Amino acid sequence: MRSPRIPLTIAAAAAASLVLASCGGGAEDDGATTGTLDFYTNKAAWEPDFDELNATSESGADITLDTTGYSDAAQYDAFIKQSFRTDKSPGLFTWQTGPSLNELVEEDLIAQTTDIWTKAVDEGWVSPDLRDSYTIDGEQYCVPMNIAYWVMYYNKAIFDEQGIAEPTTWAELDAAAAQLADAGITPYYQTSTLFTFQWFQQLVAGTDPELYNGLATGEVKYTDPEIVDIMNTWLDQEEAGWFSDAGSTVDPAVGLKQGDYAMINFGSFFNGSLDGAGMVSGEDYDMFVIPAVNEGLEKTPVAVESGPLCVAENSSQKSLGLAYSEWWMSPEAQTAWSAARGDVAFNPQATVADPMLEELGTTVTGEGYELYDRYYEATPTPILTVALEQFGAFIANPSDPVPFLEAIQAEADDYWADQE
């Protein structure tokens, strides 16, 4: 996998904040592989879920997490970076994939997990495709804390009333959308804020995964004819009335429940929102993997979102953190995590309480599917910031896509010029 690159301004800031870490600080690994592990996370709301896992990790690995959660992202990032300068580097902590992880790896601040990944892949505990998201210069770092597959949720009552079966090809999906629109039912949910990238991601990766990957590396331009053609397909669908009011303030789960639209492209964590809205999994709503736009592709691309658990290279609990990381990849750990979070497990051998999520995990890690990084993680941050704004503007006022793409490419040109 290609090592991610970061803009020089970010690299300079990272070097300034972390340089002392590479010159000193940290503590010698005490070598312990059992005991109490200090764990820091930027997901304070998930503390009860991690605490719930302690009973399983105590019996399965003889390790107990002592969890400290942060709710302020900036404060958390500052704390973690500062900790590398001291003898209190965390034995286990949450972070992000992409450029921010690469910064820490380049400073030799993150412990390698290559052996853990090799075992997990050999045991069939994880898809080799997922390993790519954790690979930098041929080695693996961290393990996935959680995972979400981006799929299509749908209102079962609407599909049943219209006699629509789950589409298995892009042509069938288009036919379903056209039928719904003709019946006065909006086919798809959309928003002009934050989550503005899903349909672009789906159209590009589903047309040509290499084209999609090329955007992330700068080898493909947003103004290339292939991308313009894809955006014009999106424009045609917008003009056909296939998407919901982009400015609606109705909760997406509530909107699907009350039939504001028939389908919504979202991560598999959305089950929790739908359950909270009073919909019953498998009865009121269901999901399907979105077919590839290009039916000639050998495998159906599936977007994956994943956040890592990392171990500090200079932590006194390095061995303990790596021991927990290895256990975390196991079916036992992922079964317990899925039960605590009510979400899909990345390990296809884990038991998932929700049959729908269990089937999804087994399906996308099997033959005929390939995982790719969600656009949000795959795209360099400066380009992503502009792209989210431009996609949002396009969604709010669908029109000739070229000016929107030119704005994104202008930022991309500046970014990639800094890498030369």
Domain with CATH 3.40.190.10 in the chain: 8-146+306-353, 149-302+377-418
Rounded distance between C-alpha atoms, residue 180 and residue 176, angstroms: 6
**CATH T-level fold of 8-146+306-353:** D-Maltodextrin-Binding Protein; domain 2 (3.40.190)
Q: Which of 315, 414, 303, 302 is nearest to 367 (CA)?
A: 302
CA angle (72, 134, 20) in 5-degree steps: 60
H or E segment to which residue 280 belongs:
none
Q: How many angstroms separate the CA atoms of 351 and 331, rounded?
A: 8
For 337-359, letters b (16+ CB in 10 Å) and e give bbbbbebbbbbbbbebebebbbe
Write down the pLDDT at residue 19: 38
CA-atom Rg of the chain in angstroms = 22
Handedness of CA 40, 46, 51, 57 (dihedral sign): negative
Cβ(264)–Cβ(280) below 8 Å: no
Query: What pLDDT does 21 receive?
Result: 38
Class of domain 149-302+377-418 as given by CATH: alpha beta
- Where does residue 52 fall: left (phi above 0), alpha (psi -120 to 50 degrees), or beta otherwise? alpha
> Which H or E element spans position 369?
strand 369-373
> pLDDT tens, position by position, for the chain (420 residues)?
333 333 333 333 333 343 333 444 567 899 999 999 999 999 898 899 999 999 999 999 999 999 999 988 889 999 999 999 888 899 999 998 877 788 899 999 999 999 999 999 999 999 888 898 899 999 999 999 988 999 999 999 999 999 999 999 999 999 999 999 999 999 999 999 889 999 999 999 999 999 999 999 999 999 999 999 999 999 999 999 999 999 999 999 999 999 999 999 999 989 989 999 999 999 999 999 999 999 999 999 999 998 899 999 999 999 999 999 999 999 999 999 988 887 888 998 999 888 899 899 889 988 899 999 899 888 988 999 999 999 999 999 999 999 999 999 999 999 999 987
Question: What are the CA-CA distances from residue 326 to residues 33, 39, 63 (Å)?
Answer: 11, 15, 12
